[in-house]
């Protein structure tokens, strides 16, 4: 697994050791497997051999939930072999429903999202998956009802004309599947049979028909607009204006008489005149549904254009379907553009979490100190927010925000080190880099390696751009300072107090009075009673668990490496030799 970061290699082995071979997947094993898939999504696809783990999970001897997670796992490995195995599960009527549903979704999933950049569907794999999905859709059409909730959503990704032929036979049955791909023949059927499509799906159908048929759709749209519901009527009229141009504005103006928000609707009409024959939502979704089919080198530019397309019409009205904001957010992340993240959040504040890192970077670049601080705390990203504030010239605000962080991450340590330097305390920077580095990631069960450990060194060597704070901390003070940038001319002022510097001084001072101490692990040779007495004599108090906010810990004769990692991630520091009066051998 050399293509995978060492910490993930360890977690894979750990999870496979916990997963039952035939028994139910539950408790710790289920939780760790789900977290491994979430955290590993950007990395695991780099090693095609790891698909074997998914194939093993698919075996019929395993519990339903493990088999379902196997289908999820295999979305990271869209090979011909994977498609064949998922197809067999999806087509087998004996497959438990949760497993079958997930297999169907995985067969249709053509989105790159946060998958490893090398992940790409081959044309052969796409064709095989499409054939399976169409076969399932054909069976559903013959019965006249859908038996799968995931099948219509998976079919939104299918560009093959075989899917259009299925939809054309019963468009009312496939309203949920109709979104951004259609042949001209299907678009003509949709145009004629629009009333057969459930109302909640008609706007998508109208947009798609206009995008596919162009001029051919105009006469029918004109005829139908007068009898349509108001939202459908407006969608048809905007499509007409986009296709036929200024000569059809009169139809729209007649419909706008007496309506509210007329100015916004006229602005949208102006946008369509400036962008003739463009149905931006359809065009953006065509990219969003196929990023994993594209060459990796082409994705960033395509995602940038798709993000612009999906956000184009929100200047005039909210998207009627909430999922469009999620698709927009993934396009912003694919583009890697902080400015586009700002546009998304302005239109849909609920999307902050999806584009958190880019959004915080944008706020720092523009010097929006108060807004960034509030957003970072709300989004549980105080360490990232502090890092960006330190980089963009607001060191005191960075230290103030850093004091609220829950985890002792590389980004947090970097923020403190750079902020102290920029605040005129290079001595504190030197001490932070020497005495208060972040914990490294676990790579085995023996001990937690000092920072940078094997995982961090792997990231520095193979993916330095993913977490620049790690590389800067490992390289030393000059590398940390090199990432600093000047504050924008219109930036908000820095924090007006030096108290955050005092908090760093107190942390580095390592004072015991008033602090909390946890005795971690087993004490066979070390005298636990003596250590407890010494802790209390020093003015500290013992806590009975590795709780957040614990200041120090004493490492017993033996302790789980997971416990030590938990403590250090929460900012707890190990008491060293000589720091506990009367106790030797720490």
Using CA atoms, how far apart are residues 313 and 5, in angstroms rounded to an integer?
41
Using CA atoms, how far apart are residues 162 and 183, in angstroms rounded to an integer?
10
How far does Cα 96 stand from its chain's mean position? Answer: 29
pLDDT at 583: 77
Tokens 């002022």 -> residue: 493
Nearest residue to 263 (alpha-carbon basis) of 321, 315, 319: 315
* Helical H segments across 423-558, by residue range: 426-435, 454-462, 468-475, 477-482, 499-509, 528-537
pTM as predicted: 0.93
For the segment 83-102, what is each residue's pLDDT rounded down to a tens digit?
999 999 999 999 999 999 99
Which option is the CATH number for 1-155: 1.10.760, 3.30.1360, 1.20.950, 1.25.10?
Answer: 1.25.10
Q: Does this chain's domain 1-155 share its CATH topology with 510-574? A: no
Dihedral angle computed from the Cα positions of residues 365, 477, 577 and 445, in that order, rounded to the nearest 10 degrees: 70
Using CA atoms, how far apart are residues 112 and 120, in angstroms rounded to an integer?
8
Phi, psi (rounded to 5 degrees) for 554: -110, 125
For the segment 191-204, what is each residue's pLDDT rounded down to a tens digit?
999 999 999 999 99
How far does Cα 350 stand from its chain's mean position? Answer: 14
Class of the domain covering 510-574: alpha beta
Is the pLDDT assigned to residue 142 strictly greater than 90? no
Q: Is the separation of the CB atoms in 73 and 53 below 8 Å?
A: yes
**Biggest distance spanned by C-alpha atoms of the chain:** 93
Kindly list the strands in the beta sheet with 541-543, ordered across the sheet, starting from the edge strand earlier in the chain: 541-543, 516-520, 552-555, 573-574
pLDDT at 105: 97
The DSSP 8-state label assigned to residue 522 in this structure reads B
For the segment 372-387, what is each residue's pLDDT rounded down to a tens digit?
999 999 999 999 999 9
Both structure tokens of 256: 């706008």
For the segment 457-506, what is each residue's pLDDT rounded down to a tens digit?
999 999 999 999 999 999 999 999 999 999 999 999 999 889 999 999 99
Both structure tokens of 235: 């969608």
Task: Return the domain boundaries, the chain.
Answer: 1-155, 192-354, 361-505, 510-574
pLDDT at 585: 62
Is the pLDDT assigned to residue 586 strictly greater than 70? no
**Positive or negative torsion for Cα 114, 119, 120, 125:** negative
Is the pLDDT assigned to residue 77 strictly greater than 90? yes
Q: Give residue 582's pLDDT band: very low, low, confident or very high (50, 70, 90).
A: confident
Share of the chain above pLDDT 90, in %: 90
Q: ∠ CA 526-529-535 to the nearest 5 degrees? A: 95
The DSSP 8-state label assigned to residue 15 in this structure reads H
Can you spell out the DSSP letters for 18-79?
HS-SSS---HHHHHHHHHHHHHHTTTGGG-GGGHHHHHHHHSTTS-HHHHHHHHHHGGG---
Nearest residue to 340 (alpha-carbon basis) of 349, 328, 326, 324: 328
Please compute the mean of the pLDDT values over residues 334-363 and round it to a whole number: 97
- Cβ-count burial of 517 within 10 angstroms (0-12 exposed, 13-18 middle, 19+ buried)? buried
Helix (H) / strand (E) containing 297: helix 296-312
pLDDT at 576: 83
- b/e burial code for range 2-11 (CB count within 10 A of at least 16 → b): ebbbbbbbbb
**Positive or negative torsion for Cα 523, 526, 528, 534:** negative
């Amino acid at each position: 697994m050399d293509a995978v970061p060492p910490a993930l290699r360890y977690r894979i082995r750990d999870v496979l050791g916990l997963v039952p071979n035939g028994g139910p997947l539950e408790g710790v094993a289920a939780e760790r497997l789900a977290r491994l898939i979430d955290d590993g999504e950007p990395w695991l696809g780099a090693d095609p051999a790891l698909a074997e783990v998914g194939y093993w999970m698919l075996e019929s001897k395993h519990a339903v939930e493990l088999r379902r997670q196997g289908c999820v796992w295999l979305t990271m490995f869209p090979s011909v072999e994977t498609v064949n195995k998922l197809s067999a599960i999806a087509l087998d009527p004996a497959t438990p429903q949760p497993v079958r549903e997930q297999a169907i979704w995985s067969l249709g999933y053509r989105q790159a999202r946060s998958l490893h950049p090398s992940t790409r569907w081959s044309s052969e794999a796409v064709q095989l998956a499409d054939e399976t999905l169409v076969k399932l859709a054909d069976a559903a059409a013959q019965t006249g009802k859908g038996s799968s909730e995931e099948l219509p959503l998976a079919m939104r990704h299918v560009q093959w004309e075989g899917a259009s032929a299925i939809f054309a036979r019963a468009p009312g049955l496939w309203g949920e599947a109709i979104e951004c791909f259609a042949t001209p023949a299907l678009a003509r059927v949709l145009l004629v049979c629009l009333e057969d499509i459930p109302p909640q799906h008609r706007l998508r159908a109208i947009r798609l028909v206009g995008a596919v048929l162009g001029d051919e759709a105009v006469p029918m749209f004109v005829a139908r607009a007068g009898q349509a519901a108001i939202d459908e009527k407006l969608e048809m009229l905007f499509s007409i204006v986009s296709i036929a141009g200024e000569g059809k504005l009169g139809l729209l103006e007649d419909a706008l008489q007496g309506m509210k928000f007329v100015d916004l609707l006229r602005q949208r009409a102006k946008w369509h005149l400036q962008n003739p024959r463009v149905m931006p939502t359809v065009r953006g979704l065509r990219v969003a549904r196929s990023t994993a089919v594209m060459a990796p080198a082409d994705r960033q530019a395509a995602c940038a254009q798709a993000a612009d397309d999906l956000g184009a019409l929100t200047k005039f009205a909210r998207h009627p379907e909430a999922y469009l904001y999620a698709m927009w957010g993934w396009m912003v992340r694919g583009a890697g553009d902080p400015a586009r993240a700002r546009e998304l959040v302005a239109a849909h504040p609920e999307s902050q979490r999806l584009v958190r890192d880019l959004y915080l970077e944008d706020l720092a670049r523009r010097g929006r100190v108060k807004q960034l601080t509030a957003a970072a705390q709300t989004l549980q990203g105080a360490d990232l927010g502090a890092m960006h504030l330190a980089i963009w010239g607001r060191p005191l605000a960075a230290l103030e925000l850093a004091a609220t962080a829950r985890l002792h991450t590389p980004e947090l340590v970097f923020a403190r080190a750079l902020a102290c330097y920029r605040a005129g305390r290079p001595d504190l920077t030197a001490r932070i880099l020497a005495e208060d580095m972040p914990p490294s990631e676990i790579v085995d069960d023996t001990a937690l390696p000092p920072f940078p450990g094997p995982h961090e060194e792997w990231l520095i060597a193979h993916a330095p751009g993913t977490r620049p704070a790690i590389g800067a901390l490992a390289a030393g003070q000059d590398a940390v300072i090199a990432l600093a940038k000047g504050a924008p001319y219109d930036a908000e002022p820095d924090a007006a107090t030096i108290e955050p510097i005092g908090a760093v001084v107190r942390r580095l001072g390592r004072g015991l009075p008033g602090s909390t101490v946890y005795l971690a692990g087993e004490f066979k040779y070390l005298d636990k009673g003596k250590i407890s007495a010494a802790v209390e004599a020093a003015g500290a108090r013992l806590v009975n668990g590795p709780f957040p906010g614990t200041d120090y810990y004493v490492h017993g004769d033996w302790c789980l490496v997971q416990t030590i990692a938990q403590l250090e991630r929460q900012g707890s520091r190990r008491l060293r030799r000589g720091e506990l009066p009367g106790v030797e051998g720490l």
